[in-house]
Structure formats: structure tokens, C-alpha cells
């Protein structure tokens, strides 16, 4: 059995994926190599989080709310976000079309 990784888009054998009991096929959506690569990148971002926190004025990069560093999340692009903004980005799958549609809706355009 093979499965396509959602990150690298390669068709890989089932052994390349971690077990995930929540998935229909009991396999994670990302292969182990991509998961490890992302974890390494996130760890590198955390090393510089305190510097970024000061540079951002101790505020969320999106909504500009003031928050303590331990209440913020390091985004995959390196910015620090409050948990609310991080949750919003996850919900819309970081898709600008969804976000612009939401803004248009909120402004009464549709």
C-alpha cells in the first residue's frame, strides 16, 4: 500500500508514515521525513523567539495585541502570533482567498 504525503507530495510506502488512529487509514498525513524536517525548522525558530518578541514590540504580528512570550506561538514563517490569530490561520489553512473572502463578508460586501 502506498500513500501520498501532504507536504512533499511523494507517493511513499505506508512504512514511511507514522501511525495516526484518528485517520481513516490509520496513517499520518505527512511522511516521517517531512515531519522531522518541520520539527527541526520549528526548533530553530524557537531559539530566536525571544529576539523576535522584542523586535515585534511584544505584540502579535497580526492583530497587534500585547501578550507574554509564553502565550504566543512561533509561526512557521518565523513571526510570533497570539493563540487566537494562530488558530484562525490554522482554520483557514493559511489560504489568502479564504481570508480575503472573510474580510469582504465582515465588511458587508457579500
| pLDDT tens digits along 1-43 | 889 998 899 999 999 999 999 989 999 999 999 988 887 766 6
Higher local confidence (pLDDT), 110 or 101:
101
Q: What is the pLDDT of residue 16?
A: 94
What count of other Cβ atoms lies within 10 Å of the Cβ of residue 80? 25
Domain boundaries, the chain: 1-47, 48-110
CATH of domain 48-110: 3.40.1800.10
> DSSP E strands: which ranges in the chain?
2-4, 11-13, 17-19, 27-31, 72-74, 80-82
Q: Tens digits of per-residue pLDDT, 35-89?
A: 888 877 666 666 677 788 888 899 999 999 998 888 888 887 778 899 999 888 8
In this prediction, residue 73 carries a pLDDT of 85
Amino acid at each position: 500500500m502506498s500513500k501520498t504525503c501532504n507536504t512533499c507530495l511523494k507517493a511513499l510506502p505506508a512504512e514511511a508514515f507514522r501511525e495516526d488512529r484518528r485517520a481513516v487509514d490509520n496513517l499520518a498525513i505527512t511522511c516521517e521525513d517531512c515531519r522531522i524536517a518541520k520539527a527541526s525548522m520549528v526548533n530553530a525558530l524557537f531559539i530566536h523567539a525571544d529576539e523576535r518578541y522584542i523586535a515585534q514590540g511584544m505584540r502579535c504580528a497580526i492583530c497587534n495585541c500585547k501578550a507574554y512570550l509564553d502565550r504566543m506561538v512561533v509561526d512557521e514563517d518565523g513571526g510570533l502570533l497570539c493563540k487566537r490569530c494562530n488558530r484562525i490561520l490554522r482554520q483557514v489553512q493559511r489560504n489568502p482567498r479564504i481570508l480575503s473572502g472573510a474580510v469582504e463578508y465582515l465588511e458587508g460586501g457579500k
